[in-house]
Structure formats: C-alpha cells, structure tokens
Amino acid sequence: MSGLFITFEGPDGAGKTTQVNFLCQWLKESGIPFVRAKEPGGTAIGDKVRQLLLDPSHVEMADKAEILLYAASRAQLIEEVIQPALVDGQIVICDRYVDASLAYQGFGLGYPLRDIRAINDFGTGGIRPDRTYLLDLPAEEGIDRLQRYRPEGLDRMEQKTVAFHQRVRQGFLQLAAEEPARFHRIDARQSEDTIFTCIQTDLRQSFSLGGKDSEANYCRRAR
C-alpha cells in the first residue's frame, strides 16, 4: 500500500472533528485526493454499530461487548474504505482509530492492552497510521466544552465520569510517549487556526504535502 494514513485522536471535546474539517478543506483546495473516515461508523454496518455504542440508554452494555463492537465497526471500515483507498495511493484521514480503543477501553476501563491490541490486529489486518495527531486537553476542559456546545446532550461515552476521562487522557499521553515517531501531540487549548497551522507545518515538513511552510515557527507542540 502506497497511500498515507492519518488519524486524529484526543480526549472528548478536544476539537478533532474541527481539525479534520480544516484538513479536508485544505487538501481539497490543494487538489490532493483524499478519503475521509470516522469511528465508530463510516459504513452502513458501522453506523448501526455506532448507534448501539453511543446510545445513552444502553447502560447495560458489557465492557467486553463495547471492546468487540468498536473492533467490529473498525474491521468493516478497513474492508470497505481504508484499505481500498490506501491501495489506490490516496490519503486517508480518520477521526479516531485503534489508539482510541487502547485509551478508552484499555486505560479507561482497565482492560489489558495486549488483549485489545490482539483483537484489533485481527480486525484491521495490522494496518497502522503513518501519522497520528493527538489533540491534548485536560479532561475537565473537554467535558466543559461538550456541555457548552452540545445542546442535544452527551452520548454514552461522553457521559462517563471525570475520573474515567482523566484516565483516557493519560492513556493517550502514554501511547504518544511510546511512539514519538508516529504521534504528533498538539496543545488543544490553542486557537483552532493555530492548531491547524501546526498540522499543516508537520504535513509539509514530514510528508511534503502542500509545499514549503513559511509559518513553521507558528506551531507550538504540547510539552
């Protein structure tokens, strides 16, 4: 496969979807072919799984069922969308991927990472991102953003406790520390434009997308 696989991760409320929107618009304006994907969902089957996973009324859902449902949705997305696009040499931009399962079900729920990795290695065929943008934000700030900007209410995952979301954030930070060559961690408390400039800078410097960047110093990576 000769395509480029880019994923976005981070605690709930960090602004991933906004940055995915910005990136897709930039690539479109630059004439660069890409495919956009999201998790859970992104396929007819995956969207039905998404409804099961995020419905706040499903309080009885077993933790193991949650892990397997996320992996099932991901397997379908790989089969229908991600793998064909990568084989075709396109850029794939995905809103969440396996790292989300490791952070949420591994660190958040406390299940062994080796088991979650094994399940997802089977489901994805071992396909891994070339770059993962981790938009880092304290859990409390992320929850506050969700409560202010989600008039329709929070989904089942977003409604989990602050302590759970704190574990998730620490999980993401640990994953990023273990794979610094793949992860690009960005302080999500910056303005939306500054965050996107940081992403553009990295894509230009690391993957030669969009030409040279004259605003490289504008980017402030999280420390």
Tell me: the pLDDT tens digits for 52-106?
999 999 999 999 999 999 999 999 999 999 999 999 999 999 999 999 999 999 9
Give the mean model confidence (pLDDT) for residues 15-41: 97
pLDDT of residue 119: 98
Query: What is 88-152 written as a DSSP string?
Result: TT-EEEEES-HHHHIIIIIIIT---HHHHHHHHHHHHTT---SEEEEEE--HHHHHHHHHHH-TT
Element (H, E) at 65: helix 63-77
pLDDT of residue 90: 96
pLDDT of residue 6: 98
- State yes or no: pLDDT of 195 exceeds 70: yes
pLDDT of residue 211: 62
pLDDT of residue 210: 79
- State yes or no: pLDDT of 213 exceeds 80: no
Give the mean model confidence (pLDDT) for residues 41-61: 96
State the pLDDT confidence band at 220, using cuts at 50, 70 and 90.
Answer: very low
Give CA torsion, residues 181, 186, 187, 193, to 10 deg. 160
Burial call 115-134: b when 16+ CB within 10 Å, e when fewer: ebeebbeebbeebebebbbb
pLDDT of residue 152: 78
Q: pTM for the whole thing?
A: 0.91
pLDDT of residue 150: 75
- State yes or no: pLDDT of 216 exceeds 80: no
Taking alpha carbons only, the member of 217, 175, 186 closest to residue 23 is: 186
Taking alpha carbons only, the member of 56, 115, 42 closest to residue 84 is: 42
Task: Give the gyration radius of the chain's Cα atoms.
Answer: 17
**Integer Cα distance of 161 and 158 in angstroms:** 8
Tell me: the pLDDT tens digits for 111-167?
999 999 999 999 999 999 999 999 999 999 999 998 887 777 888 988 889 999 999
- Give the residue, 108 or 147, on which the prediction is more confident: 108
Query: CB count, 10 Å around CB of 81?
Result: 19
pLDDT of residue 212: 53
Share of the chain above pLDDT 90, in %: 84
Tokens coding 166:
């704190």
Question: Torsions phi, psi of 193, nearest 5?
Answer: -65, -40
State the pLDDT confidence band at 2, using cuts at 50, 70 and 90.
Answer: confident
